[in-house]
Amino acid sequence: MKRIHASIWRSLALASLLWVGIGSGGTPQEPAPIVQSAKAAPAAKRTAAYVFDRGTLHLRDDDASKLNQLNFSFGLIKDGKASGSHWYSIEHFKAYVKKHPHILPVLSMGGWGADGFSQAAATQEGRDRLVSSTIELMEQHGFLGLDIDWEYPGISSAGIVSSPDDKQNFTLLLKAYRAALDELEQQDGKYRMLAIALGADPIVLRHIEGHAVGGIIDQINLMTYDLQTPKVASHHTALYAADSAYPLSAQNAVTLFSEAGFPKSKMMIGTAFYGRIYTLSKSTDTPVFASATNNGQSSVMYSKIMSSGRWEFHFDDKAKAPYGTDGKSFLTYDDPISIQHKGAYVTQQGLMGIMCWEYGGDDSGELIRAMHGSVQ
């Protein structure tokens, strides 16, 4: 997931990290099943995690009681059709959800750098082909939710095809998905959730029919991370803007997306289970918003942040965001305290819940526990 103003940083390197989650088993009491329909308000705030497919994926039983939803990432578009032929860990994922049936299994389609949406959505025939193949893939593997990660319609920054027509075609594609999912419900009585993931930079809204899309979907995952500023040591996943010169934040995204037509009750804000590292232009005791020589594109998972012994940790109370410094570098990330503030904001603003990218970034379970605790 990437920034647009000067750059949108969600690198494929991050998406391809083989993060390993290792933890102890257990059988904690599980929460009541979540409401799987936008037709009725959920009884409690939702906690969700994106799970990046990898051969070493291990989902911890201890985390199950703290999650309502898992987004398996990603299905791709190949020759205009949805495909999971590249998956390594789908059977492990399915077994975990079967063991913990209160968790909603969601298929996430697309992701940063995943091409094919613009081409498929451009025609009725293309939409029909993509939708029918997606439904087939969902039914084959038991997914009860669909998350469309065409994260930046109308924008080619990820090296993908885009078109000025993406704005209207995105709406048409989602309408087609909604109709197909509703047809499945009529057949077996099980409601299928329809979600989208969008970059939290407001430039995205220029390419989205907000009111129309907001009425079709059940959930919007706002990617409130990778919001750092190039060449400025800045927070990449702040709750609030600490300086008016750098306004990108979760609060900023919620405000602007709400004004654009997305109901707050459908919004999930994101937490980052990874950090980004800047190289400072010069050593300083006040690194926040200091000059940097790079764009913060270097990433590191939370587990490695905690185990490295490299960083002196601080907390920006204005942004509600932690940071670290070693005198030469600036680290921006999320921790349990910042997540607690995000959860409180979710409750205060009446949002649907909180989600993370990506489950494998923390092998201790500390951040999952923080997410869950923050919205109780």
Average pLDDT per block of 10 residues along the chain, 376 residues long: 37 32 33 37 81 97 98 98 98 98 98 94 98 98 98 90 97 98 96 97 96 98 97 98 96 98 98 98 95 96 97 98 97 98 98 98 98 96
Is position 5 within any domain? no
Distance CA 307, CA 29 (A): 30
The pLDDT of residue 81: 98
- Return the structure tokens found at 127: 């939409």
Domain of 121?
A: 12-273+334-374
pLDDT confidence of residue 44: 85
> Which of 78, 80, 71 minimizes the C-alpha distance to 53?
71
According to the model, what pLDDT value does residue 43 have? 52
Residues 6+ apart with CB under 8 A from 21: 57, 58, 59, 60, 359, 360, 362, 363
In angstroms, the CA 71 to CA 177 distance is 17
282 located within any domain:
no
| CATH number for the domain harbouring residue 342 | 3.20.20.80
Residue 321 lies in a domain: no
Residue 137 corresponds to which amino acid?
L
Q: Which amino acid is at 305?
A: I
Phi/psi of residue 8, each to 5°? -115, 110
Q: CB within 8 A of 65, min separation 6: which ones? A: 28, 29, 30, 31, 372
CB atoms within 10 A of CB 28: 12
Radius of gyration, CA atoms only, the chain: 19
How many residues are recorded in the chain? 376
Tell me, yes or no, whether 103 lies in a domain: yes
Cα–Cα dist 357/145, whole Å: 17
Quote the pLDDT of residue 24: 30
**Would 316 be classed as within a structural domain?**
no
In a domain, 201, yes or no: yes
358 prior amide bond cis, ω within 30: yes
Q: Write b or e for each residue in 9-26: b if 16 or more Cβ atoms lie within 10 A of its Cβ, otherwise e.
A: bbbeebbebebebebeee
Q: What is the pLDDT of residue 206?
A: 96
Give the count of domains, the chain. 1
Closest CA to 254 of 238, 268, 241: 268
23: in domain: yes
Instruction: Determine the pLDDT at residue 28.
Output: 33
Q: Looking at the domain assignment, is residue 235 inside a domain?
A: yes
